[in-house]
Amino acid sequence: MLGVIDLPTYLAGLVLIVLLPGPNSLYVLSVAARKGIRTGYTAAAGVWCGDTVLMTLSAAGVASLLQANAVLFGIVKYAGAGYLTWLAIGMLRAAWGMWRTRHERVAENEAAAGLAAEERPFRRALVISLFNPKAILFFVAFFVQFVDPGYAYPALSFVVLGAFAQLASFLYLTALIFSGTKLAAAFRRRKRLSAGATTAAGALFLGFAVKLTLASA
């Protein structure tokens, strides 16, 4: 099928991979929980655009270049880890503010308004996606197994595989977005729950940053 080998196996592996938690899905969930469905989809669009860029780079052989060049890989790796750390610090600062002001509704509303004004979900999700060298290496390592090397139009094979990947991502992030809006109602009723969830998200992003710094090409 258009140069794609063993499509059922690819789809089965894709489902398992998409379901693995990562900074992209966690960010979309947190945005949807804080700001609703429309903003959640704005963040998801950033993820999809970032994934499209990574797939294109992988098909063009950039992933192989990163894998072969330790210095270039290190630059991208530490830049990504630094960005994830910056996001984590922002989340932890917001959580600390929630803990301090959880009995002061006006202060919480002002803080939320300020956060909404400063945050750009699409751009932030896009950067999270792009600064992920392990994702680039994964795309080429996974995709290449299902592309027929003898097929005359390998780019078309990558397009087919990428389309399935984006469809799976769309369905998964949509589920997270609608789950996030349900969580939002609970967060509004229980300020401690909201502060605790934000703290947990910040800690997870720090964990993602540490994991990325330990990654190897």
How much of the chain, in percent, has pLDDT values that exceed 90?
14
Own/partner pairs for 155-160, CB < 8 Å, 24+ apart?
A: 155/59, 156/2, 156/3, 157/2, 157/3, 157/4, 158/55, 158/58, 158/59, 160/1, 160/2, 160/3, 160/4
Q: Which two tokens stand for residue 11?
A: 């789809």
Residue 30 has pLDDT above 50, yes or no: yes
Predicted confidence (pLDDT) per residue in 135-149, tens digit: 666 676 666 677 776
Q: What pLDDT does residue 175 have?
A: 92
Question: pTM value?
Answer: 0.68
pLDDT of residue 86: 73
**Alpha-carbon distance 208 to 3, whole Å?**
35
Indicate the angle between helix axes 133-143 and 70-100, nearest 10 degrees. Answer: 120
Per-residue pLDDT tens digits for 49-104: 998 988 887 777 665 665 666 776 677 667 767 766 776 787 677 667 666 665 44
Tokens encoding 183: 């969580």
Here the tokens at position 16 are 């398992």
How confident is the model at residue 117, as a pLDDT? 45
Confidence of residue 130 (pLDDT cuts 50, 70, 90): confident
Residue 29 structure tokens: 């969930």
Tell me whether residue 62 is exposed, middle or buried, using C-beta atoms within 10 angstroms of its C-beta: 0 to 12, 13 to 18, 19 or more. Answer: middle
Task: List Cα–Cα distances, 21 to 18, 53, 93, 182, in angstroms.
Answer: 8, 20, 23, 19
189-208: pLDDT as tens digits? 556 656 666 677 677 767 76
